[in-house]
Amino acid sequence: MLSYRHAFHAGNHADVLKHLILLQIAEYMGEKPAPFWIIDTHAGAGRYALESAHASKLGEYRDGIGRLWERKGLPPAAVDYVEFVKMLNPDGQLRHYPGSPWLASQLLRDSDRLRLYELHSTDVKLLQECFRGAGRQVTITAGDGFAGLKAILPPPTRRALVLIDPSYETRDDYANVVKGLQEALKRFATGTYALWYPLLTKPESRKLPERLKGLGAANWLHATLEVHAPTKDGFGMHGSGMFVINPPWTLEKKLHETLPRLTETLAQGDGARFVLESQGD
């Protein structure tokens, strides 16, 4: 797990889905006057230089944010997402990509708080540099995000968005997200939880959505975006998913408007498709 560096994958199709949904949830929460927290259990470095050795080695951003950068006629939620990325690239050249902590920080009001957890020692230092001078509004912890949830849930505001997106490098990660969510819901049943996961041919990945549905949450939304069909040898990630517990009531409509065009724009071959399903009161 500690070998994983998100810099290799920054701005790819999975980040597009994850960050577009993150922004939609956080913007909705900010529409109400009561303060809220955003808790990121696997925060990464905060922001990424796309011309760095890490990001340019695979260049995955070219088939992610790169395809949306100059695209006209995108749905409003996709336009909103691209505009936030452009904030980090004021000269109009796509050179930097924001991680979820940076995006979340842009939507905080004075009374809101951002709580970040990261285990990788190098990324923790980069995260601290990213938020130097942020003051008490942003707290960075070098440690396990699942353990952090046990310590801080429920938040004093009783309003929070928890983003969970581990690397899934090991089989344990799949079990840990189910257990972590199960324990978090016992402490804070009304929180909004947004879990990202990769679409792989591994049985752990294929079985995860049903395990999440089995947690018993009354309200959930599940969105997936596949950019191509699974390869014959089963190698690599062909898409990703977001499972949101207690989603904003506006999110499903936004994704119905957005996912068809997003799938078309990000398709890398035959089999590109999306799934959007939900359960609610």
State the catalytic residues: 165
Please, is 201 exposed, middle or buried when counting C-beta atoms within 10 Å of its C-beta (0-12, 13-18, 19+)? Answer: middle
Question: CA–CA separation, 14 vs 138, rounded Å?
Answer: 25
Question: CA–CA separation, 107 vs 110, rounded Å?
Answer: 10
Contact 228, 273 (CB under 8 A): no
Question: CA–CA separation, 219 vs 215, rounded Å?
Answer: 11
Measured in degrees and rounded to the nearest 5, phi and psi for residue 163 equal: -100, 125
Strand 192-199 versus strand 160-164 pairing type? parallel
Tell me the three state secondary structure of residue 243: strand
> DSSP label at 155?
P
